[in-house]
Amino acid sequence: MSAAPLNSVYLDYNATAPVRPEAIAAMTRVMGRVGNPSSTHAAGRAARAEMEAAREAVAALVGAPPANLVFTSGGTEASNLAIASAVAAGAKRLIVSAIEHDCIHATAQASDAAVEIWPVSADGVADLAWLDARLAAWDAADGAPFVALMLANNETGVIQPLAEAAQIVRAAGGWLHVDAVQAAGKIAIDMGALGADTLAVSAHKIGGPQGAGALAFGPRATLFRRQHGGGQERGRRGGTENLPGIAGFGAAASAALRDLPHYADQAAWRDAAIERLRAAAPIKVFGANAPRLANTLCFAAPGGSSETLVMALDLDGVMVSAGSACSSGKVKASPVLAAMGETDLAGAALRVSGGWASTETDWVRFTEAWLSSHARLQSRQRVSAA
């Protein structure tokens, strides 16, 4: 299967991944049948079996019990459900890391709870000392602390110290929500070992279809239904389940678990690209001193423009991103990089992210295209200065 249009290179997997053949096959199989998973006749039971097999596959990807996994329309809804449940359970103040996805920040701000921003280091790593001190001074009148910290950042790829954060949160009797959307399928995940109380994942980031996700939850979290209707998802989310999407999600999860070593291989391809780029320009790699996803490179060169570079690379047949792809197609300065103190370079940042179908050649093609674009930009700047 081709992961991108003919003769082009697609390195924007952190935005969305090409759908895997296994997911297409599973969705096609399910769509060729009839049956509501809630029906008790033979067709309904077959549909239910498909859904539960997918639930087991997704749960295995994140190390959660299948019974503790609720299917949603995506990672955004999953995190919405976690935050709304915490507020319904009595949380009056939410702590959200500065590098969280917009779905976390926006949902927290839209809730009835107060919101505090948890700072990060210059490499984009959450400040554990800050969290420890803040929870030590927690006011019981604010209810149990709710803390949101993603496992791996969607822009920089920086992997967060979740297990250490979980110890701090649990000592304070709090609820830790983990957005694992970018980490799933790229690094091994064990929800129990991480200490997460709720954990969100999304199908389309791992080669499944868009419009399917899940929220896994542990014994310390109580979910409150937000989408009312029938008794689907054990009463936790009303509405007939998106069975084709769920089946594709399950197939993609199984394939992603199988292919975890492929992601680790990409670190060498990414690092070789960095060396070639550094030989031509004084680039800044964001999060370079922190653990990162092997597939992700976020960097900038002084004097560049994210929007101009994305367009230039696209014309050369190489598709990358300026950062998060969840801003209605707009290219804007990254709040994540701003939180890391990189306000001067944020407007020049590019994010390059490989995935399940990426090759070393793709990374070489990107490097050559960027070097050509950078050389043209430098030439124009010299002419303008003359």
Catalytic residues: 326
Alpha helices (H) in the chain, listed in sequence order: 21-31, 42-62, 75-88, 102-110, 128-136, 162-171, 191-194, 243-258, 260-280, 306-315, 335-339, 360-385
Here the tokens at position 307 are 């929007």
Here the tokens at position 337 are 């990089």
At CA 194, angle to CA 172 and CA 198, rounded to 5? Answer: 70
Dihedral, CA atoms, 360, 363, 364, 367, nearest 10 degrees?
Answer: -170
CA distance 199 to 301: 35
Handedness of CA 265, 290, 282, 317 (dihedral sign): positive
**Element (DSSP H or E) covering residue 93:** strand 93-97
Are the C-beta atoms of 175 and 145 separated by less than 8 Å? yes
Contacts of 312 (CB under 8 A, 6+ apart): 369, 373, 376
At CA 183, angle to CA 263 and CA 192, rounded to 5? Answer: 120
Amino acid at 263: Y
CA distance 197 to 178: 8
CA distance 302 to 294: 24
Contacts of 237 (CB under 8 A, 6+ apart): 70, 71, 72, 81, 225, 226, 227
CA distance 269 to 296: 10
Neighbour-count burial of 99, counting CB atoms closer than 10 A to its CB (0-12 exposed, 13-18 middle, 19+ buried): buried
Contacts of 339 (CB under 8 A, 6+ apart): 98, 99, 119, 120, 124
